[in-house]
Amino acid sequence: MPRPHLLMPRAFARMIVAVLAVVVVLAAACTDDEAEPDPGGTATPATQAQPSPTAEATTPPAATPTPSPSPTRTPRVWPEASSAPIGDAEALELMDTLIDIEAGEEAWRLALARVVHAGDNRFAAVLIELLWARDTRILREGLDYLEYYDALKAITGADVSPNRHYWIRWYGESSLEPPPGFTGWKGRLLSIIDEQFGEFLSDEHASAIRVEEILWGGVLVDSIPPLEFPDMLDPEDVDYLEPDEAVFGIAINGEAHAYPLRILDWHEMANIEVGGVPISLAYCTLCGAAIAYDDRGPDGVTYNFGTSGFLYRSNKLMYDRNTRTLWNQFTGEPVLGELVGKLDLEGNPLRLNLLPVVLSTYSDWLARHPDTTVLDINTGYARLYHPGAAYGHYFSEPDTMFPVWLRSDDLYLKQYVYGLRMGGARKAYPVDVLAEERVVNDVFNDQPIVLVTEQAIDTFGISRVGPVLYPSGGEVRAFERGERRFYPGPEDGTVVDATGAEWTVTEDALVGPNGERLGRISGHLAFWFGWYAFFPETELYAGSR
């Protein structure tokens, strides 16, 4: 059957997308207006500089309460319609009718009534999308959003607020599945905003995640522009950084690079080369995770990544420019597109390899790597590159900005952890605990390891609401330790073993007095909610005492 006419002309959609990005979401848009926060949090305005909640409190907050039921209204009377089960072909026709500009109000309402009378809860995902699309005026014509809301309540029996964030969390906890064809239908709906969204969300593509949980982040494809092999400066030419400013440091094959957070906050992705190795420094500001991926895929293909504009559990979905497959930034796995299910050269599911990256202050990184180069602030983009300008308000408050249903109250949502992965095992180490203990000897996945933490790092900046102070993570490195145990050394960048022998902390290894080397283990920082949303089976380090 011919596809429906969409309810908004594309030209008009292009005109309003910037407004929607400002009004609806700050998160991926990096705009000056606040997005609606996740109502499941406990937000308080961050109008003054304030310490991290993880530094002030001693116990995590209580679990998020169940959302209050919606206010009682007169029950809606639906038009007469068949209550017979809805087949897959009819389901697709009904979905398309609901976004067909030529169908008209009567047809939209009859389609909705058919779903309600049939009690087909497969349409829950469809109605959640329509509830959002009408509420935000993505669909400028159509039924009142409360009609979709009433239909949603009728087919699910759930008494939940009209706020889509609550419904996303409710849906995530369910085992519901949408009708066949939902992926392509959602792509057609979102192609109102950007035609490329329809290319990503196609029924031709396999998916490793629930497409129902993919959300628009408020921007077009690559409108948060990745830095493509940006210019680097020698330290003597850097005049914009303060000594205590946070940078991401990468050192490979004797070459060191520093990438200041004040710049990466605005771009969230840097396609770079360090020591001859092509790398994607993928930075999800929403979940606090900067991850360095080796672009030389284990399938023998070298990839280059961009920003899709989509989110999944408040984590950015990147895409490779080779096949336009969507990838999970957090796990390094393809999740929607032709690469889903592909194997690497060893017959394992395709997954990018992690490379070591560390958060440090500029002065400390420079002291360790005097020959480092530093990202040029003249990126070619007009951005307000001062600390806190992009996300300072978000970083300084406890909420997530987008709904995440898979949560744990063991730590604060946005408490920083340092995460390690080995085989199928996962473990998270709270950064504040690591900073207090400095050297942690542990056994993870049956392997003795040691984590060395130089410092916790906070950022003071100016956000759109004023001065803010927020944690940026900590300078943490993990290494193998064999049968040794290590303790804090006499100087920064050193540890000692049980014999008193001094070892040097480098980017590649712990180096002993006789040149013995214990290899680095790749890990990365993340907000607790981001880590747990993808690794709910994780171990959590509770401290040595």
CA 109 to CA 129: how far, in whole Å?
16
| 481 within a domain of the structure (yes/no) | yes
Domain enclosing residue 50, as ranges: 37-56+391-545
| The pLDDT value given to residue 140 | 87
- Written as six digits, the tokens of 326 are 């969507």
- 12-21, 302-311, 446-455: which has the minimum mean pLDDT? 12-21
Backbone angles phi, psi at 255, to 5 degrees: -110, 130
| 493 within a domain of the structure (yes/no) | yes
| The pLDDT value given to residue 289 | 98
CA 282 to CA 271: how far, in whole Å?
8
Residues 449 and 481: beta-carbon distance below 8 Å: yes
- In the block, residue with structure tokens 């943490």: 476
CA 287 to CA 310: how far, in whole Å?
14
**CA-to-CA separations, 463 to 29, 84, 525, in angstroms, rounded:** 15, 55, 22
Looking at residue 296, its amino acid is R
| Average pLDDT of the segment spanning 309-318 | 98
In tens, the pLDDT along 369-395 reads 999 999 999 999 999 999 999 999 999
In tens, the pLDDT along 207-249 reads 999 999 999 999 999 999 999 999 999 999 999 999 999 999 9
Identify the band that residue 322 occupies on the pLDDT scale cut at 50, 70 and 90: very high
| 415 within a domain of the structure (yes/no) | yes
Which strand (E) or helix (H) includes residue 442?
strand 439-444
Instruction: List % helix, strand, coil for the chain (3-state, nearest 5).
Output: 25, 30, 50
Cβ atoms within 10 Å of 467's Cβ, excluding its own = 16
Sign of the alpha-carbon torsion through 232, 237, 241, 242: positive
Query: 124-135 and 164-172 are packed helices; what angle lies between their axes, rounded to 10 degrees?
Result: 160
Residues 305 and 319: beta-carbon distance below 8 Å: yes
| 205 within a domain of the structure (yes/no) | no
What is the count of structural domains for the chain?
A: 1
| 533 within a domain of the structure (yes/no) | yes
What is residue 320's DSSP assignment? E
| 486 within a domain of the structure (yes/no) | yes
Cα 159 vs. chain centroid, distance in angstroms? 29
Sign of the alpha-carbon torsion through 279, 283, 287, 289: positive
pTM over 0.85: yes
Residues 249 and 275: beta-carbon distance below 8 Å: no
| 504 within a domain of the structure (yes/no) | yes
Q: Where are the alpha helices (DSSP H) in 25-82?
A: 53-56
| 474 within a domain of the structure (yes/no) | yes
